[in-house]
Structure 1
Amino acid sequence: MTQYLLDIAGAPTFIAREINRVLSSGGVWLNLGLPFRRSSDPPDAGPLTCDDMPAFLDDLAFDALEIRRRRAMFHDLSALDEWLPASVHSTIFFAAKKRGDLAPDPVARAFEDHAARRGTAILDMIPRLIAGRRIHLLEGWSFGPGGAKPRVELIAASGKSMSIPGPLGAFLRRLLSSIDGERTAREVLAAVGSASDDALTEDDFVVLLRTLMLRGWLEIGQTRPSAQRQP
């Protein structure tokens, strides 16, 4: 069962593939949540709604049993205080049955192999920032009664922002600048490590890559774009 998950996940297809993997044949997936976007969707595409669910589920080897729109009360705190606000919105509900197993995803397999110490193929793959999903790193100053303080703010593609410590901001600047769609993950690690006072271990770097992928910040391909164009 997934509840308000696909709409906040950066890579909902990755999660759906994992649900397919752990379910037995004929197992049922229940979902309730808001419309969502896949990381592979073009920037101008709207979120997936109920009308898009049959094709989405079919691509992931699920047969839809029921799909409908439901009005739901969200964050209702009226039991604590009747004056507190609540939100009502339309959600996607579906029940889907697993039709069969999906072919293994090579990127997911590479992450699993690295975690199990079976190989380092993930380091030879190419991380790329997703087209149309810009990440903004703003460095400046904040002023208040305590005086001027340096401030670093990260604004992700979703528009959500967060304040981060200055040293982490410098690290993210080096990291994101090194992910150019041409370098392998191994080359990115070497570039970031050579510019850093603190050593970044290979294991920590792989975990960071996986986190950025699941957040929908980047995608990982198997080969260099130049290699794909060669006859």
Structure 2
Amino acid sequence: MRLRNKPWAKDKIAAYPQYVIPNPEQYKGRWNELFGNDHPIHIEIGTGKGRFITEMAKAHPDVNYIGIELYKSVIVSALDKLIENDLPNLRLLNVNAKDLMNIFAKGEVERIYLNFSDPWPKKRHEKRRLTYKTFLELYENILVDEGEIHFKTDNQGLFEYSLVSFSQYGLVLQNVSLDLHNSDFEGNIMTEYEQKFAEKGNRIYRCEAKYRKPMQ
């Protein structure tokens, strides 16, 4: 994906620290203090322009959502949606997903959404895929016991790879759909990419992967 540079994005993000949280490491272990409640925390890694997580926050006010996006020129679109809607249960982070353990404590997150992640199709880039085993270990270190990953993509190769990766790591696969938009799944909220791909007739793949309860 070629990103259009927005040189003003940095200043705009800085102007809204109540929405795009600066220095998020200071909230590690106490994100519920920032939200002012004990609702479960769900995060989306690669939140893009923010349609999915904004609509999720509207639909589920009893869940706290955190959208994580690395690129400033992208997250400003999500920021615009948050400014417009002023949702108390949604905040954004302009950080790298590799730093999750510096931002969240063990058991602080209940669910992770991975929507239309970069497939990194070349074998030499396997370790960059957000469903690679090192990322699965990273997620496990911030999720509650039996926490979940909800994964959507239009890329069949990435989906097949991810199913294998989840299984080899020991996650339990649930609600696997090979054609989401022609399934009986209810409550699907589309991302911007998802709508674009679906309008082209692309099949959308989805699954949920649940971590096993640790042995006592």
> TM-score under structure 1 normalisation?
0.24
Q: Which has the higher helix share?
A: 2
Q: Which has the higher strand share?
A: 1
Higher-Rg member (1/2): 1
> TM-score under structure 2 normalisation?
0.25
